[in-house]
Amino acid sequence: MAGIAEIIAVGSEMLTPDHLDTNSLFLTRKLNECGFEVRLKTIVGDTESDIAAVLRSALVRSDVIVFSGGLGPTEDDLTRQAVSTVLGRPLETDQAILDALRTRFAARGIRMAAINERQAQVIQGAEVLKNPRGTAPGMWIEDRARHVVLLPGPPRELMTMFESEALPRLEKMGGGRRLIRKSFRVIGMPESEVDAIVAPLYTAYPSIQTTILAAAGHIAIHLTRWVEPGGEIRDLEELTAAIQAKLGMAVFTSSEESLEEVVGKLLRASGRTLSVAESCTSGIIGMRITRVPGSSEYFLGGILCYSNELKMKLCGVAPELLERHGAVSAETAQALARGVRITTRSSIGLSMTGIAGPGGGTAEKPVGLVYAGVSDGSRTVHDSRNLPGDREAIRERAALFALALLREFLMSGP
Ligand code: ATP
CA gap 53, 140 in Å, rounded: 20
| Residue-wise DSSP of 102-142 | HHHHHHTT-PPPGGGGGGGEEETTPEEEP-TTSS--EEEEE
Q: How far is the CA of 413 from the centre of ligand 1 (A)?
A: 52
Name the closest-CA residue to atom 25, ligand 1: 153
Contact between 291 and 263 (Cβ < 8 Å): no
Q: How far is the CA of 383 from the centre of ligand 1 (A)?
A: 49
Stated as kind and residue range, the H or E segment containing 368 is none
| Closest of 155, 102, 168, 92 to residue 129, by C-alpha | 168
Q: What is the DSSP letter of 236?
A: H
Q: How far is the CA of 6 from the centre of ligand 1 (A)?
A: 18
Beta-carbon count within 10 A of 266 CB: 17
Angstrom CA distances, 14 to 22, 23, 45, 153, stand at 10, 11, 8, 11
Residue among 7, 48, 67, 71 whose CB has most ligand 1 atoms within 8 A, to mutate: 71
Contact between 375 and 338 (Cβ < 8 Å): yes
Q: Which atom of ligand 1 is nearest to 22's Cα?
A: 28
| Closest of 61, 217, 73 to residue 134, by C-alpha | 73
Q: What is the DSSP letter of 389?
A: S
pLDDT at 274: 98
- Edge-first strand order for the sheet with 348-354 is 299-304, 274-278, 348-354, 369-375, 380-386
Q: How far is the CA of 157 from the centre of ligand 1 (A)?
A: 9
Contact between 325 and 252 (Cβ < 8 Å): no
Residue 28, helix vs strand vs coil: helix
CA gap 13, 68 in Å, rounded: 13
pLDDT at 2: 66
| Residue-wise DSSP of 272-334 | --EEEEESSSTTHHHHHHHTSTTGGGTEEEEEE--SHHHHHHHH---HHHHHHH-SSSHHHHH
CA gap 380, 373 in Å, rounded: 7
pLDDT at 243: 95
Averaged over successive runs of 10 residues, the pLDDT of the chain (414 residues) comes to: 89 96 96 91 97 97 97 91 97 93 89 89 95 91 96 96 95 84 91 93 92 90 89 89 94 94 97 98 98 97 97 97 97 98 98 94 93 97 95 96 97 80
Ligand 1 — pocket residues by CB below 6 A? 9, 11, 13-14, 19, 21-24, 68-72, 77, 134, 136, 152-155
CA gap 218, 185 in Å, rounded: 6
Beta-carbon count within 10 A of 191 CB: 15
Residue 187, helix vs strand vs coil: coil
Q: Which atom of ligand 1 is nearest to 43's Cα?
A: 27
Name the closest-CA residue to atom 11, ligand 1: 69
Instruction: Phi first, then psi: give them for residue 195, nearest 5 degrees.
Output: -65, -40
Side-chain-side CA neighbours of residue 40 (13 Å): 19
pLDDT at 414: 64
pLDDT at 217: 82
CA angle 176, 179, 185 (to 5 degrees): 155
Contact between 336 and 351 (Cβ < 8 Å): yes
pLDDT at 150: 98
Q: What is the pTM of this model?
A: 0.71
